[in-house]
Amino acid sequence: MVAAPSRAETGSGVQTYGNYIAGEWRPAATGETLENRSPSNRNDLVGLFAASDADDIRAAVDAAAKAYETWGKGSPIVRANILHKAANILEGRIAEVGRELAREEGKTLKEGIGETTRAVQILRYYAGEAQQPTGEHYPSINPLTLLYTVREPLGVCAVITPWNFPIAIPAWKIAPALAFGNTVVFKPASETPLCAVRLVEALAEAGLPAGVLSLVSGRAAAVGDPLVQDERVVAISFTGSNEVGASLRKQAAERGAKIQLELGGKNPAIVLADADMDHALMHVVNGAMMSTGQKCTATSRAIVDRRVAGEFTEMLAKKITSLRVGDPLDPETQIGPLIDETAAERVAGEVRQAKEQGVSLVAGGERLRDGGRENGSFVAPALFADVDP
């Protein structure tokens, strides 16, 4: 069970959330916190979260290194049972956590519930994988020789995750690491720490031993480097920007640590003249607009056969202008806000720049500041045509 509550209430009723280190929830070593506000309404204070530094990272790695001595040698059945129990705990909270995800990140309520459901499925899947045989046998030209591999845990792993899938991506990094006997120090995105807390709560309540999983929140500049530079961290799994990924790759290479990077992407859709236009429209719109387009797999451009380009452009413009942009907690909303005001202003600036360069703006692209969207990071979905590839 969790040694202490993950949160405390301030005098104003705002919840304060600590780090999870060595089996207990505790404030940052500095005693400082960071505000986390909803992107749909900047007046909505989601909570206060630990503003950690190198001391917190050191404590988390200390705990992880100590826990690995027994966790890595323990029974796979025990690890599987904990993951399965955590899946059950989180499953019982899907509606609540999905709603918190929508509030904190800005995904629509439907997407928030869907992502939380996905996290449950990931935990359950790796509970099963933990019990599968590891290693393989290979044929040998010598009948007296047996060739085989044995897979062993690595040790202390760092998991650094982004804000655009704040519970699913942590689950699919943390669950396999734990399933096969590693310990984890988890640094979530500072924009979405509440979702991270909810995942760790489920694992802690499921009986995860102290130190096996630590959660350290805070700004990347304060905790990222101390985490990846600690010699006891033998593997790093990161999802995020190309720039940060390049820096982490260099740091890992300098000391021989294993590293796994999932970075940005550019994803076109190709629409041919003989395509089913309605079917193509559905996939292009869903690929481009789900999660407000804030994912590395988003469809950012469509390459359309010129014979149907006019027709398809008209269909796209009509569809995206009909999409309902607004409060992600409203079940009728189809597109929520961008992650923060900086992102909204950057997108609006890119739209202005494209227009100045002579690109044809067919629809959208403007800031939305009415109808309950006055304090949020809302931008109308934009469609450009005749873009130079």
By annotation, the residues acting in catalysis are: 262, 296
Work out whether the CA dihedral 293, 168, 180, 52 comes out positive or negative: positive
- Extract the tokens encoding 112: 């928030």
The secondary structure element, H or E, covering residue 387 is: none
Work out whether the CA dihedral 287, 353, 379, 40 comes out positive or negative: positive
CA–CA dist 47, 36 (Å, integer): 6
CA–CA dist 335, 185 (Å, integer): 33
- Extract the tokens encoding 68: 């690995």
- With both helix axes pointing from N to C terminus, report the angle between 242-255 and 220-229 in degrees, rounded to the nearest 10: 30
Whole-angstrom CA distances from 201 to 36, 87, 239 are: 19, 11, 22
CA–CA dist 99, 327 (Å, integer): 12
- Extract the tokens encoding 118: 């996905």
Residue pointed to by tokens 């046998």: 137
CA–CA dist 42, 375 (Å, integer): 6
Between CA 211 and CA 218, with CA 215 as vertex, the angle to 5 degrees is 140
CA–CA dist 75, 92 (Å, integer): 27
The dihedral formed by the CA atoms of 175, 83, 188 and 71, expressed in degrees to the nearest 10:
-80
Within 10 angstroms of residue 315's Cβ, the number of other Cβ atoms is: 17
